[in-house]
RNA sequence: GCGGGCGUAGCUCAGUGGUAGAGCGUCACGUUGCCAACGUGAAUGUCGUGAGUUCGAAUCUCAUCGCCCGCUCCA
């Protein structure tokens, strides 16, 4: 990350605090790593993101229904989902060069003839065969020749760093020093349900909202009269005990997800996968992430999780690097099959048309609300020039949020604080808030300063009551991005703004 | 978790052992008639937290918490 990118990120963080978008959690007690609070402007931004998503993905569609499932579920859910066993990363540290690795990706290869050890090396590899080849290739020429000569007479030992080699320590791929024993971190937060804090009372804070959808799939099917293909959508908090939260609100231990599980027949899964991948990408574009900073990246085959047939990431180029906003995956029938197996409940679907019974495939678009909020903050942050009272250009900081996402839609000012201007401005403000518009009234100080304050909050429109207003009942409306002003009848301002934030 | 950098007013930062500072912001009054830094005045800090050294610590030592960068990780 270059110096200027760091500085840009720092400016965005500073503005977010200064204007009340985002605060560190428990700041008065020194904070707590990986947790964040949203201030008055931040909560409006975040709520707008969720509202727009819910509107676009659920209410506007006839093939989607919503759900709000509990954060704490029966722990068996997480056994079925695989999180209890595999939602962890066994890690090892090098005692020599202090590097850290995922233990399941590190192999130690030992080749010996009788008691004479020819080769003992650590390598990064996907399986034993590759590990052996890589270790051999990395050895010096004399050793390579010896290995080739001796061939089958050699005894080989290849073991993974998290599985141990009969008491023999694993070796570092970088410096060949000994690695520490593997330590496991399950990333699920544990808690206890009820009065007894024993193993039978252990429960987990959900690491994803998706399982609440799968667990309710039958309930929804039986009660909503939905038929395939259809989706269930949910927005909610999830928790992951990240080893190392980083990059502001990007990787937090408590975060919010917007997830869809879209159920369909296996034969249509690939088509629906491509549909949702493109639709979700376009959603971000439509909300203002139009720059070249937004990408859609298909995963390579070897990058896929074991349950996924295909997967794509919507990525955004943050100041700290390109990172994932949302993942869209074809999860096949893996999840429902697992729940059928673990719960003993039938998860199949009967199609009256084709007389076919099957377990549906699932397409999962899974987005992070906080990551989206951060992307919109980064995208909105703009420094440009605006003229001062003498017409000389001055630097200006403005948050160019899409009007649908802007925390405040309309600010209302009296040009000066007298001659009845505050009264008319107040009436317009009351009408705005009364009709559900997020609005702000300000009569203090010079009007130019009030405009600039709203620029930092990202308010798209400012209405100003002036002397002429008192004669013909019109006001000026100023555009945040162009600074242009138009004159509108005072009683049309609210509907004019409402029109532009749909 | 390892290594490096950092933590002083709401924000950005100065202050290397002797009374806690600046700019911006905020608030009040005045001025102001459409785009920040006009005038006058005001508030704001256990110098991240806790211990230690010292006659005396923002400053030195240790611990701890948090932030940033790299490694690592990322369902």
Q: Is residue A492 in some structural domain?
A: yes
Mean pLDDT by 10 residues, chain A (502 residues): 68 87 84 87 94 96 96 92 71 65 77 78 77 78 79 78 70 75 74 80 92 95 92 95 84 93 95 96 93 87 78 90 92 94 94 93 95 93 84 85 95 89 92 94 90 93 92 93 93 95 86
Which residue is nearest to the C1' sugar atom of B70, using CA?
A1
Domains: count for chain A: 1
A416 touches strand B (CB under 7 A): yes
Enter the ipTM: 0.86
A224: which residues sit within 8 A by CB, 6+ positions away? A65
For residue A116, being part of any structural domain is answered with no
Q: Judge whether residue A305 contacts strand B, using its CB and a 7 Å cut-off.
A: yes
**Cβ atoms of residues A204 and A75 within 8 Å:** yes
Q: How far is CA A60 from the centre of its chain?
A: 23
Q: Check residues 271 to 300 of chain A and report those whose beta carbon is under 7 Å from nucleic acid strand B.
A: none
Smallest Cα–C1' distance to nucleotide B35: which residue has it? A448
Q: Which two tokens stand for residue A421?
A: 């201007």
Distance CA A335, CA A345 (A): 13
| A478 C-beta less than 7 Å away from strand B | yes
Please tell me the number of Cα atoms within 13 Å of A58 on its side-chain side: 18
The answer to whether residues A318 and A247 touch, using CB atoms and an 8 Å cutoff, is yes
Q: Check whether residue A311 has its CB closer than 7 Å to nucleic acid strand B.
A: no
Query: Is the CB atom of residue A99 positioned under 7 angstroms from any atom of strand B?
Result: yes
Residues 458-477 of A with CB under 7 A from strand B: 464-467, 475-476
Collapsed DSSP state (helix, strand, coil) of residue A151: helix
Assess whether A184 (CB) lies less than 7 A from strand B: no
Residue A106 contacts residue A92 (beta carbons within 8 Å): yes
For residue A421, give its domain range.
408-500
Distances (CA, A) of A354 to A256, A367, A412: 39, 34, 60
* Strand B contact with A394 (CB < 7 A): yes
Count of C-beta atoms within a 10 Å radius of residue A92: 25
Whether A309 is covered by a domain: the verdict is no
| A255/B15 CA-to-C1' distance in Å | 40
Residue A229: inside a domain: no
Tell me whether residue A248 is in a domain.
no
Residue A230 is assigned to a structural domain of this protein: no
Write A161-167 long-range contacts (CB < 8 A, 24+): A161/A90, A161/A92, A161/A101, A161/A103, A161/A104, A161/A106, A161/A107, A161/A108, A161/A122, A162/A90, A162/A92, A162/A103, A162/A104, A165/A108, A165/A110
pLDDT value, residue A2: 44
Whether CB of A447 is under 7 Å from strand B: the answer is yes
CA of A31 to C1' of B19 (A): 32
Q: How far apart (Å, rounded) are the C-alpha atoms in residues A423 and A260? A: 47
Alpha-carbon torsion (A467, A471, A472, A473), positive or negative: positive
CA dihedral A127, A129, A134, A137 (to 10 degrees): 180
The helix or strand, by DSSP H or E, that contains position A264, with its residue range, turns out to be strand A254-264
Q: Are strands A439-441 and A410-414 parallel, antiparallel or unpaired?
A: parallel
Q: Is the dihedral of CA A404, A408, A412, A416 positive or negative?
A: negative
Length of chain A: 502
A349 CB neighbours strand B below 7 A: no
User: In chain A, how many H helices and how many E strands?
Assistant: 15, 25
- Threshold 0.90, pTM exceeds: no
A388 closest-nt by C1' vs CA: B35
Q: What Å value separates CA A14 and C1' B12? A: 9
Distance in angstroms, CA of A238 to C1' of B41? 51
Residue A135 near residue A119, CB atoms below 8 Å: yes
Asked if residue A480 belongs to a domain, the reply is yes
Rg, Å, chain A Cα set: 29
In a domain, A320, yes or no: no
Cα–Cα distance between A444 and A305 in angstroms, integer? 57
A19-27 contact pairs (CB < 8 A, 24+): A19/A456, A19/A457, A21/A45, A21/A377, A22/A248, A22/A249
Instruction: Determine the pLDDT at residue A170.
Output: 79
Return the pLDDT at A257: 95
Nucleotides of B under 7 A from a protein CB: 1-3, 7, 10-12, 25-28, 30-38, 48-49, 65-75
Q: Is the CB of A1 under 7 A from strand B?
A: yes
Q: What is the CATH number of the domain that holds A494?
A: 3.40.50.800
Q: How far apart are CA A332 and CA A327, in angstroms?
A: 15
Which amino acid residue lies closest to nucleotide B25, measuring CA to C1'? A18
Residue A222 tokens, joined: 């039986």
Strand B-contacting residues in A 191-230, CB cut-off 7 angstroms: 207-208
A381/A379 Cα distance (integer angstroms)? 6
* Separation of CA A272 from chain center: 22
């Amino acid at each position: 990350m270059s110096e200027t990118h760091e500085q840009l990120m720092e400016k965005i963080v500073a503005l977010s605090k200064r204007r009340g978008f985002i605060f560190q959690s428990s700041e008065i007690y020194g904070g707590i790593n990986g947790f964040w609070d949203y201030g008055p402007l931040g909560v409006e931004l975040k709520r707008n993101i969720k509202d727009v998503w819910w509107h676009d993905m659920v209410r506007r569609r006839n093939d989607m229904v919503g759900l709000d499932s509990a954060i704490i579920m029966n722990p068996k859910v997480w056994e079925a989902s695989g999180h209890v066993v595999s939602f962890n990363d066994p890690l090892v540290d090098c005692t020599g060069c202090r590097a850290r690795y995922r233990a399941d990706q590190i192999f130690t290869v030992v080749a010996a003839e009788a008691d004479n050890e020819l080769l003992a090396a650590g390598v990064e590899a996907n399986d034993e065969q590759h590990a052996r080849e890589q270790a051999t290739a990395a050895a010096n020429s004399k050793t390579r020749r010896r290995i080739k000569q001796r061939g089958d007479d050699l005894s080989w030992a290849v073991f993974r760093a998290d599985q141990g080699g009969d008491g023999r320590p694993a070796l570092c791929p970088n410096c060949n020093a000994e690695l520490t024993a593997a330590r496991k971190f399950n990333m699920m937060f544990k808690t206890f349900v009820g009065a007894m804090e024993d193993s039978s009372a252990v429960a987990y804070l959900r690491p994803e909202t998706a399982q609440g959808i799968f667990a309710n799939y039958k309930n929804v099917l039986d009660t909503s009269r939905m038929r395939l293909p259809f989706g269930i959508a949910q927005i909610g908090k999830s928790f992951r005990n990240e080893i190392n939260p980083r990059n502001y609100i990007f990787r937090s231990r408590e975060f919010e997800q917007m997830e869809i599980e879209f159920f369909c027949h296996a034969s249509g899964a690939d088509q629906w996968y491509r549909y949702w991948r493109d639709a979700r990408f376009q959603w971000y574009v439509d909300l203002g992430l139009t720059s070249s900073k937004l990408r859609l990246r298909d995963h390579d085959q070897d990058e896929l999780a074991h349950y996924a047939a295909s997967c794509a990431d919507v990525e955004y180029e943050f100041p700290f690097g390109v990172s994932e906003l949302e993942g869209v995956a074809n999860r096949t029938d893996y999840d429902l099959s697992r729940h059928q197996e673990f719960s003993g409940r039938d998860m199949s679907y009967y199609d009256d048309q084709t007389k076919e019974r099957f377990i549906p495939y699932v397409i999962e678009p899974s987005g992070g609300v906080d990551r989206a909020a951060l992307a919109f903050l980064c995208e909105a942050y703009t420094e440009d020039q605006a003229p001062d009272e003498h017409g000389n250009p001055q630097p200006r900081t403005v948050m160019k949020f899409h009007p649908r996402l802007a925390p405040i839609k309309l600010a209302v000012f009296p040009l000066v604080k007298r001659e009845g201007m505050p009264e008319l401005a107040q009436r317009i403000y009351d009408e705005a808030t009364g009709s559900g518009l997020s609005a702000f009234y300000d009569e203090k100080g010079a009007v130019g300063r009030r405009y600039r304050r709203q620029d930092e909050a990202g308010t798209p429109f400012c209405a100003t009551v002036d002397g002429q207003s008192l004669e013909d009942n019109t006001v000026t409306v100023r555009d945040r991005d162009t600074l242009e002003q138009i004159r509108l009848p005072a009683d049309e301002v609210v509907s004019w703004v409402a029109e532009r934030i749909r």
